[in-house]
Amino acid sequence: MAYANTEALEKSVSIKTLQAMKDRCEKFTTVALYDAPMAAMAQNCGVESVLVGDSLGMTVLGYDSTLPVTMEHMIYHVEAVARGNKKSHIMGDLPFMTYATPELAMHNATRIMQAGAHAVKIEGGAWLASTVSMLSERGIPVCAHLGLTPQSVNKFGGFRVQGREREQAETILADAMLLADAGADLLVLECVPAELAARITKAIPIPTIGIGAGRDTDAQVLVINDILGLTETPPKFSKNFLSEAGDIPKALKKYVADVKAGVFPEDSHIFS
């Protein structure tokens, strides 16, 4: 069986566990999920890292973008996930405009951490460096997020691959190095060419978590709805693992095993 060596998490996973995995060149898996039973299942299937994503605005609440998501939505779902899962590392997204200034970021990150997250995720480049260092210095691990940052969908004019032009690719690489230097502990790279994600992963000491970013990031993230075939028009980079696996735990275990083995994402999921 392809997933025979995938087991429930035994010890709780911290930011240090994830860093040590990068340092050992061992891949880890993140799932964006939103409720207690799915969070429990992720823990039991060896998913090291879970993200309570603001994608919940689209995947749970039926909005067309992540912009309507509020702190109240995020807290409600972080609390549910934290109740269901005592082992995986839990990140919570800060929603649109709730970290527009460092002061707002510190206030709202506090609320996400008190709801049960172990780290917060924020979308943006160089402008976030001071926010990242302030949160980090005060004890809040930060996951930065570059490339297709969905809260900026109106600036991008749609959910489009980012970093295809040389100049933009160099900016994303420079932003990644700046945010890592500022104290970010993790970096999500969304919908960027695989070559760029590979360069960034080599250039920075912290783990990179890719989605539509090729095989060479330190980890992969997918949205649970896409893994389980719940999305009407799934993004090109996603994969329905349920259809071949047969049930939800088998689908999660197959996803974990395929990421560890470096066989997911496949060529058809990759932008170049």
Ligand X SMILES: CC(C)C(=O)C(=O)O
Ligand Y SMILES: Nc1nc(=O)c2c([nH]1)NC[C@@H]1CN(c3ccc(C(=O)N[C@@H](CCC(=O)O)C(=O)O)cc3)CN21
Active site residues: 190
Extract the tokens encoding 165: 């032009």
Residue 51 touches ligand X, criterion: CB under 6 A: yes
Tokens standing for residue 247 = 């049930």
Measured torsion, CA atoms of residues 180, 186, 191, 196, in degrees rounded to the nearest 10? 40
Q: How far is the CB of 95 from ligand Y (least distance, A)?
A: 12
Q: Which helix (H) or strand (E) holds 32?
A: strand 28-32
Among 68, 102, 229, 235, binds ligand Y (CB under 6 A): 235
With binding defined as CB under 6 A, does residue 151 bind ligand Y? no
Q: Name residues contacting Mg ion, limited to 87-146 (CB under 5 A).
A: 93
30 burial type by CB count under 10 A (0-12 exposed, 13-18 middle, 19+ buried): buried
Nearer to ligand Y, 86 or 160 (CB): 160
The closest of 226, 187, 236, 231 to 210, measured between CA atoms, is 187
Nearer to ligand Y, 9 or 221 (CB): 221
Binding annotation for Mg(2+): 54, 93, 123
How many residues bind ligand Y, per CB under 6 A?
A: 17
Helices (H), the chain: 15-23, 36-44, 56-59, 71-84, 102-114, 129-137, 153-156, 166-182, 194-203, 224-227, 242-245, 248-260
Query: Burial of 119 by CB count in 10 Å (0-12 exposed, 13-18 middle, 19+ buried)?
Result: buried
Least separation in angstroms between residue 106's CB and ligand Y is 25
- Per-residue x/- marks for ligand X, 164-193, CB under 6 A? ------------------------x-x---
User: Least distance (Å) from ligand Y to the CB of residue 48?
Assistant: 19
Neighbours of 187 (CB within 10 A): 28
Rule CB under 6 A: which of 224-253 touch ligand X? none
Tell me how far apart the alpha carbons of residues 32 and 211 are, in angstroms, rounded to a whole number. Answer: 11
Of 54 and 218, nearer to Mg ion (C-beta) is 54
Contacts of 235 (CB under 8 A, 6+ apart): 159, 212, 226
Interface pattern 53-72 for ligand Y (x via CB under 6 A): --x--xx------x------
Least distance in angstroms from the C-beta of 144 to ligand Y? 16
Which residue's Cβ lies closest to ligand X?
Answer: 53
Query: Under the rule (CB under 6 A), what is the footprint of ligand Y?
Result: 55, 58-59, 66, 148, 150, 159-161, 191, 223, 225-226, 231, 235-236, 238
